[in-house]
Amino acid sequence: MDAAEKHGLSLNWTPQDRALRERVRSFLAQHLPADWDAIARHGPGSREQTEFSMRFCPELAQAGLLVPHWPEAYGGVSSSPWEQLILGEEMWAAGEPRGPQYMNVNWIGPTLMRFGSEAQKQMHLPAIAQGKVVWCQGFSEPSAGSDLAALRTQAMADGDRYIVNGSKVWTSYAGLADYCFLLARTGSGKAGISILLVPMDTPGIVVRPIPSLIGMGDIHEVFFQDVVVPQSCQLGEQGQAWSIITYALNNERVGIARYAYSLRVLTQMVEQLQREGRFDDPIVQTRAGQARAACEAARMLVYRVVDLRSRQALPSGEASQARVAVIAADHAVADFATEFLPDTLCGQEFAIHLAHHERAIAAGIASGAAEIQLNLVAHQYLQLPREARL
């Protein structure tokens, strides 16, 4: 009798789950290069890690570890959301060597499967499943960040094509991306936004990197000037973008097991303190325990969302709760570093540790601000009334 039968509720892994985890660890041990820490130092969104992902992800695909959660028809084996999570935890614990491709496999691919035309599926899904393509997400604009529906980039219909004009900003991976998952305005209001799958080598697209605290080549501005996009590149119906991205982001918010990254970095820091003979201090122990508890809290809330998904329930407020907790874990670990190991933020010795610290400042901003997540928790989970709009 296993634990699930005994108590009706089991928060432990099955032997099959543990075997998968070991398989992923073994793969990483064999395939991450000796200089992986130096590459990972630049962070999961960096140009260096994006370039690395283009070598690494095809190997991952060959081993059946890139898109195992996809249906057989698209190169997967329909593995469970729990198996997808295990893969994500191990990748994040290693510093996320999939780089931008976690986004492809977690939500761009599944969104194309659900809403794409047959031609779009045939064109894009094999490349994603083989780890051979980089996508960027053309959402934010200079005047449309948290208020995404305020976006202005125009896609003017012109026969069987669109002419796109406008600009995007804070776009990760754009410097090396093959395609952009672009939100553009084809009418007014939320119902006037459409999705275009745009090749990044289309004439009229200019990408400019933005020097930033999270590394050169991580975020970009993308300008569109009279960019011609065939109507066949439209995903779903015209004006359907809002419902499609709601679906897409519910997948995206489940996919990031970044607490595993935070926990690995915290463990590295504690081991350093132990080597220096400083971990005997009860204050240090307590603060390490606090940071670890924040990571474990995030883990449980992510697991709860995965559990909902495994029963085909659509998480809403729960996914936002999980994101809030993941952000808190990022900051708890980063704050531990500044309190007890500030010297390791100098030099390059603690590579992944530096990358984690740099990313923590972006944790509550990227992929939807933490405050937007709190709004969603308040409305969707606590059923609090909406604030009056001006």
Partner 1 sequence: MNFQAHEDLHQFQSAIDHLAARYRQAWRATGSRFEHAPQLEAQLQEGGFFSALTEATLGPVAAAFMVQTLAQLPVCAEVAASALLGPLACPEDPGAIAVIDGPLQRPARFLPTARTVLHMTPHSVSVASLQSDQVEVIDSLFAYPMGRLRTDATLQWHALAPDTATRLSGLWQVAVAAELVGCLQAALQSVLDHVKQRQQFGRPIGSFQAVQHRLAQASCAIEAAHWLTLKAADSGRAIDAATALGYAQQESGRISYDLHQFMGAMGLTLEHPLHRWTYRIKLLSSELGGGSRQLQQAATLAWPQARAA
Give residues in contact with partner 1 (CB under 8 A).
1, 3-14, 17, 82, 267, 270-271, 274-275, 279-280, 282, 285-286, 288-290, 292-294, 296-298, 300-301, 303-304, 306-307, 311, 321, 324-325, 328, 371, 374-375, 377-379, 381-388
> Least separation, in Å, of the C-beta of 292 and partner 1?
6
CB nearer partner 1, residue 241 or residue 270 = 270
Nearer to partner 1, 178 or 307 (CB): 307
Nearest-approach distance from CB 320 to partner 1, in angstroms = 8
CB of residue 382 to partner 1, shortest distance in Å: 6
Alpha-carbon dihedral sign for residues 40, 41, 45, 46: negative
- Determine whether 59 is exposed, middle or buried from the number of CB atoms within 10 Å of its CB (0-12, 13-18, 19+): middle
47 vs 379, beta carbon nearer partner 1: 379
**HEC secondary structure over 316-334:** CHHHHHHHHHHHHHHHHHH
Nearest distance, CB of residue 78 and partner 1, angstroms: 18
Give 176 or 298: the residue with its C-beta nearer to partner 1.
298
Q: Environment class of residue 122 by beta-carbon count within 10 Å: exposed (0-12), middle (13-18) or buried (19+)?
A: exposed
Q: Kindly tell me which of 41 and 258 has the beta carbon lying closer to partner 1.
A: 258
From the CB of 96, what's the least distance to partner 1, in Å?
22
How far apart CA 207 and CA 175 sit, in angstroms, is 6
* Residue 3 or 206 with smaller CB distance to partner 1: 3
H-run or E-run covering 234 = strand 234-235
User: Shortest approach of partner 1 to residue 317 CB, angstroms?
Assistant: 8
| CA 157 to chain CA centroid, nearest Å | 32
Burial class (CB in 10 A: 0-12, 13-18, 19+), 93: buried
Whole-number Å distance between alpha carbons of 351 and 28:
17
